[in-house]
Amino acid sequence: MIAFLIKRLMHAVLVMFVISVLAFAIQDNLGDPIQQMVGQSVPESEREALRERLGLNDSFLVQYGRFAKNAVQGDFGYSYFYREPALGVIARHLPATLELVFAATLIIVLLSVPIGVYSAIKPRAVLSRFFMGASIIGISIPVFLTAIVLIQIFSIGITVTLFPESTGWGAWLNGLLSTQGSMPSFGRGYDLVHVVGHWDTNMASWDGLKHLVLPAISLASIMLPLFIRLIRAEMMEVLQSEYVKYARAKGISMRRVYFVHALKNTMLPVITVGGVQIGTMVAYTILTETVFQWPGMGLMFLDAINRADIPLIVAYLMIVGVIFVVTNTIVDLVYGFVNPTVKLTGKPA
Amino acid sequence: MTLKKTLLASLIGATIAGGALLPLTASAETLRIGYSADPETLDIHEQLSGGMLRFSHLAFDPLVRWTKDFDFEPRLATEWEQTDDTHIRMTLREGVTFHSGNPFTAKDVVWTIERLQESPDYKAIFEPIASAEAIDDYTVEITTTEPYPLMLNLATYIFPMDSEFYTGETDSGNDKAEIVKAGNSFASRNVSGTGPFRLTDRRQGVRVDFERFEDYWDTETEGNVSSIVLTPISENASRVAALLSGGVDFIDAVPPNDLERIRESGDVELIEVPGTRIIGFQLNEEKVEAFQDVRVRQAVDLAINQQGIADRLMRGFATPAGQFSPEGYSGHNPDLVPRYDLERAQELMAEAGYEDGFTVDMIAPNNRYVNDAQIAQAVANMLSRINIRVNLRTMPLAQYWPEYDTRQSDIAMLGWHSDTEDSANFFQYLSFCIDDETGAGQYNYGNYCNEEIDALVTEADSVTDLERRNEMLREAEAMLYEDVGFVMLHWQNLAYAAANGVDIEPVVNAIDFPYLGDLVISR
């Protein structure tokens, strides 16, 4: 166990090192940060002085050496735009992203397990076919489109005049399909509850929750179909296995067979995939957060790219790398608990 | 008896005063703004940008400000007088206080001008000023190095700062007045101005909160906004959605694709203002020999259908241009209009011996100006009709400027807004012969050079008789038009939208700084 954790820690360090080298290597292609910092009529001499002060004229090795020396001491540089340490900026934006990812995960877990299990048990039911069809559509719609459609329907509202308004049934159908739209379409709202440090939560007030709903749904929309299909496929496989047949033959109630014996083994691969996907979801927040102006890391990162805020870009990439390593480690640990036959250190048993 | 009379008089007085104050206090309104960007910093001299100037108009007041028709309106300066060729004397408003409580006097103006001269972004603009001196508490005398006709234009950039507040040392021993770009200076975190709104909270990139300054000097304004919440929403579609869903009351930079949608929506109002930013192309004479021939340059200009681009591509969201200066500017010459004529263009190409044309590279940004990449594409297609084959490359802003600075491409797109809201600025940066010593022609991508025009504009800049000066600038525009020193396309319009009842029309202007202190909300 200890050996495993130490090994993973070294992984994390290696990942950070590789990412930082890569990020530094491409920084010249990210654009000129000076251009974003000065007015249009500032003469070249002033620009050059600023470039010199920020150390942008030094060679790659000198710049990287300086960065690495500071990074080892926990200083990841200074964001040009926020005018404060990059790590602090990320820490400030992290809670918003984590809350969003948490809410989306919650939606995925609460929906995918029952739907997946149901459509495995009753593969021919109309509802199962509907879920399968819907999940194919869901998987192919890009997240920003989902987000914009959600905003149009639930925030702005749509007026349907498809049916003749003069007839009673037409007006009724029009009314049924039209939406008022009152959900907030951007930001985290003004009613946040402070928890600790940089963490203000959306989850403790009605207004906060309302702001969270649409972004969480659109973020969940990419992963949900995937998990429904995954759980369904795994469950169907498990239901064919010998031990399930044996349990049924023994006369154990179907309920118990499905939800105690079969589901346990279904969830094993789902946990592995799920852990990796949570890491991916942090990356997907870039799109969701941009559309909803959700002030988390994703939006911060996209803005940083537009502003060529190189220290912040480098720090973000490294932190995301660490998040991947950490989630994978946790997944492996959890997997070990769920399935004790797996040896963490990977030594032959 | 006298006591009674006094009492009565003061009662009446109080009633009148109360009545006058009533509209202010009775309808406290919060304005929720969704701008495309929030102010980069709180130090108004750290960066010259649209976002910063908008912030300056909220938390500070300029000495004078532009009206919608490009006249000057007194703010902290009430009167001004050109005492001789190089001296201007300004009388300042009395009874003005800063947000910190310090009184506003002439020493603050002097201090601010001196700080502007230190600012990397403003230094060049304030070069003509030799010195500023406080004659008494409410009189300032500004001396220019040479006769300078644009002193009032500069005064629109002088937002007096609270000199007492910004003087001294911070706990860590730094000078409170220092200007540090992208650094953690005192002035970038703390603010004290005289403006209509006091900053109460700021989370960069997330939101900025303002409250109306209770001791604001301008008690005659009908503006009734009591607090402002500014949320930056950079994504165009999200900004429009935020307004349509009622999440914000006022947005800027409505994208052309959404203009129709907003016009048709009954709940919000669209305000379009003709802008002052000229969009055009620069032909690189260094790289392409053909562009040194005035006939080829004219052919390029004639082959481009400015009206068509403005109508179809920009959906009426632009004013086709034949010159730098938009209407209202001193040098605007009403005779110079776009002259699309494809046949004549083909003839000119033939005359110049380029009947078969040639192949060129073109670069354009794809996220800087409205529809920039599409415009470049359209222009490339138009040029193909005079056999100029264009290889177009478009790129995001952050990469565009470094590419632009190398001057390696044959044609480049550029948009320019005159910092002084004056015509001469366009020439000095875009068409003057390049001179690294003086910084002239800093954005003259194509190395175009016409010394006659340069001489005329330079002379105009020392003529304080504004009528004669305007005449000269109009002449310069006409010469550039003939010589095609810059391929003009259009002035990009500005579009704002606001919820019904938020009456933005009177407070928005072509310079893109809404005067929100005067905004009236009636719901």
Mean pLDDT value across residues A305-332? 88
Give pLDDT, residue B23: 40
Cβ within 8 Å, pair B402-A54: no
- Residue type for position B392: L
Give pLDDT, residue A83: 87
Q: Are B461 and B424 in contact (CB under 8 A)?
A: yes
Nearest CA in chain A to B51: A39
Q: What is the ipTM of this complex?
A: 0.85
Q: CB pairs below 8 Å between A and B: how many?
A: 142
State the Cα–Cα distance between residues B399 and A80, nearest whole angstrom: 17
Selected residue of A26, A34, A40, A188 to mutate for chain B interface (largest B Cβ count, 10 A): A40
Q: What residues are paired with B97 via a beta bridge?
A: B103
CA Rg, chain B, in Å? 25
B15 pLDDT exceeds 80? no
In a 3-state reduction of DSSP, which class is residue B363?
strand
Largest interatomic CA distance in chain B? 101
Burial B200-237 (b: 16+ CB within 10 A, else e): eebebbbbbbbebbeebbbeeeebbbbbbbbbbbbbbb
Q: What residues are paired with B84 via a beta bridge?
A: B87
> With bands split at pLDDT 50, 70 and 90, how would you rate the model's confidence at A170?
confident
What's the angle, vertex CA B167, arms to CA B163 and CA B172, rounded to 5? Answer: 150
B402 vs A: CB within 8 A: yes
Give pLDDT, residue B208: 95
- Least confident piece of the model among A112-126, B15-29, B76-90, B125-139: B15-29
SS3 string, A78-147, reads ECCCCCCEHHHHHHHHHHHHHHHHHHHHHHHHHHHHHHHHHHHHCCCCHHHHHHHHHHHHHHHCCHHHHH
Give pLDDT, residue A178: 81
Mean pLDDT value across residues B20-27? 43
Model confidence pLDDT, tens digit, residues B410-442 = 999 999 999 889 999 999 999 999 988 888 898
Model confidence pLDDT, tens digit, residues B37-90 = 889 899 999 998 888 999 999 999 999 999 998 999 999 999 999 998 899 999
Residue reference for tokens 């009236």: B520
Mean pLDDT of chain B: 91
Give pLDDT, residue B162: 96
Q: Are A142 and A133 in contact (CB under 8 A)?
A: no
Model confidence pLDDT, tens digit, residues A220-234 = 988 899 899 999 999
Mean pLDDT value across residues B171-196? 92
Residue A125 in tokens: 């039911």
Model confidence pLDDT, tens digit, residues A195-211 = 888 888 888 889 999 99
Mean pLDDT of chain A: 87
> With bands split at pLDDT 50, 70 and 90, how would you rate the model's confidence at A164?
confident
- DSSP state for residue B194 in the 8-state scheme: -
Mean pLDDT value across residues B443-455? 94
State the Cα–Cα distance between residues B122 and A120, nearest whole angstrom: 69
B259 pLDDT exceeds 80? yes
Helices (H), B256-386: 259-264, 294-303, 306-308, 342-351, 372-384
Where do the DSSP E strands lie in chain A? 193-196, 199-201
Select from A311, A314, A292, A313 the least CA-distant residue to A303. A313
State the Cα–Cα distance between residues A108 and A102, nearest whole angstrom: 10
Give pLDDT, residue A261: 86
B172 vs A: CB within 8 A: no
What backbone torsions phi and psi does residue A73 show, to the nearest 5 degrees? -90, 10
Model confidence pLDDT, tens digit, residues B87-136 = 999 999 999 999 999 999 999 999 999 999 999 889 888 999 999 999 99
Give pLDDT, residue A194: 87
Cβ within 8 Å, pair A187-B247: yes
Smallest CA–CA separation between A35 and chain B, in Å? 7
- From chain A, the residues in CB contact with B48 under 8 A are 38-42
> With bands split at pLDDT 50, 70 and 90, how would you rate the model's confidence at B27?
low
In a 3-state reduction of DSSP, which class is residue A341?
coil
Give pLDDT, residue A344: 60
